Amino acid sequence: MKKRPMSRREFVRRSAALAGASLAARTILLDPTPFQASAGPVPPSDTLRFGIIGTGVRGCELLQASRHVNGVECVAACDLYDSRHLAARECLGKQVPVTREYRELLERKDIDALIVATSDHWHRRLVEEGTAAGKDVYCEKPMSHTLEDGFAMVQAVAQNHRILQVGSQRVSSIVYAKAREIFHSGQLGQVTAIEATWDRNTPGGAWVNPIPPDANERTIDWERFLGNAPKRAFDPKRFFRWRCFGDYGEGLAGDLFVHMLSGINFITGSSAPAQRAHSTGGLFRWKEDRDFPDLLWTIFDYPDFRVCMRCNQNNESGEFMGFYGTQGTMTIRDTTSMPAFGLGAAHLARGPMVTFTPQDTRPQPDSYSIFGWPAKLRDDYLGQWQRANPPPQPGKFAVDQQEETYLPPAGYSDVVGHLANFFNAVRTRQPVVENEVFGHHASIGCHMANYSYFRQTVARWDQNTKRIVG
């Protein structure tokens, strides 16, 4: 009887069967205890007192997080918009002195540290003056508004012998610590490609924030806000939507790229900026009163791998990071909208999770190129392959690796962890996880992305001159 020719689909199925059993999967809750900077109570005599400069959205988030850090107390707040003084007190749940004048905080001898959560163009001045006044500083990301600012900030921290922590909190995350462990374990094999995306689709996600009804020249110190930026007539849009404008911010690169670059540098152990950056994108939707694109796509060249990074303010795809190796794939995803993975929603925290999926590198017969052979030759090939690669004996088969997903527990916050790491360093004088050099390198990547986009050229980091060149 003549045999019916095997279809390609049947052939692929048969080849897969010869390759062996499928890999299993499991989900694991991470333990935050080893990463806590101060797990127990702190004596009142060791309480650290800090002041905060900038109590907008991010500043208020940091104030709320500080209430969960042992042994710290906010004793003063500064902002140029009067209504944020009340917001700061509400976040703290107590009355603290509030002011528009940041120098009042620098002059107070009872303040050990400062949190700087202002627009980017104020970071350099506040870090320079804060460290000169003997304060350790937690400075929000991106560390610098310009390349020159970054070098000046690194120098100021060194000259004044102070501690600087930059505020990309993912480097203090137990999820990113696990990802770093997996990366350096060799499980991924050779990683040549990394993908990172963070997309939003709301006005707030595009920094088109509402303007408070009491915003005017009496309630806002507009001249002080401008600082070293070009002088302009009062414009509340520029004050509340400052990320849209190059005079005060760095756009998508400074808001979101910096988080992803910091995470990649932390996980991979990269100790220098990317060598090259090539950007594209455009301003497609949010065109009114804006300098920066609402879509930015950049390829970064590192010595051992390439990074493709995208931020899009016109689509909600969340946050994703993928590390692609010859032996496995590692992904970091936001758990906010993800299913409970059999653990129950009560066990999940809002934030990232990391998954490792091994590549099946066991010997397999070719399932594509030989499909053009006659049936007999194919059968002979499969038979020879199977004889050369016999399956394990019964009871001796074992899966060496399986897909693993690691999740943070409910209530976990990497923002709290990052602040705790800073304040623990202030108390012990031990290094922080994200110092001025690390933060500077991440910021350089942001500056390179914008340099490439606006100049329509490839940006190259010149290590000899420490400059970005086209």
Separation of alpha carbons 327 and 405, rounded Å? 17
Point out the domain boundary residue: 154, 170, 186: 170
Is 420 a domain residue? no
CA distance 257 to 408: 23
Q: Are residues 205 and 328 in the same domain?
A: yes
3-state secondary structure (DSSP) of residue 378: helix
- Reading the block at residue 43, the tokens are 């004596």
Could you tell me if 314 and 252 are in contact, meaning their C-beta atoms sit under 8 angstroms apart? no
Dihedral of the CA atoms 322, 324, 330, 336 (nearest 10)?
Answer: 20
Quick check: helix, strand or coil at residue 93? coil
CA 8 to chain centre: 44
Phi, psi of 171 (to 5 degrees): -70, -10
CATH code at 216? 3.30.360.10
Residue that finishes a domain, picked among 170, 185, 213? 170
Report the share of the chain in percent with pLDDT over 70: 89
Q: Give the number of other Cβ atoms within 10 Å of residue 437's Cβ.
A: 16
Q: Give yes or no: residues 260 and 193 share one domain.
A: yes
Last residue of a domain, one of 128, 147, 170: 170
Asked if residue 217 and residue 189 are part of one domain, the reply reads: yes
Specify if 107 maps to a domain: yes
CATH number of residue 132's parent domain: 3.40.50.720
Q: Residue 456: which domain range?
A: 25-33+172-226+242-363+399-411+434-469
A 10 A CB-CB count for 129 gives 16
User: How do strand 403-407 and strand 25-29 relate by DSSP bridges?
Assistant: parallel
Model confidence pLDDT, tens digit, residues 150-201: 999 999 999 999 999 999 999 999 999 999 999 999 999 999 999 999 999 9
**Which of these, 222, 255, 227, lies nearest to 238 by C-alpha position?**
222
Q: Is the pTM of this model over 0.75?
A: yes
Q: Does residue 64 form part of some domain?
A: yes
Summarised one tens digit per residue, pLDDT across range 49-108 is 999 999 999 999 999 999 999 999 999 999 999 999 999 999 999 999 999 999 999 999
Does residue 389 sit within a domain?
Answer: no
Determine the average pLDDT of the residues in 285-314.
97
Domain count, the chain: 2
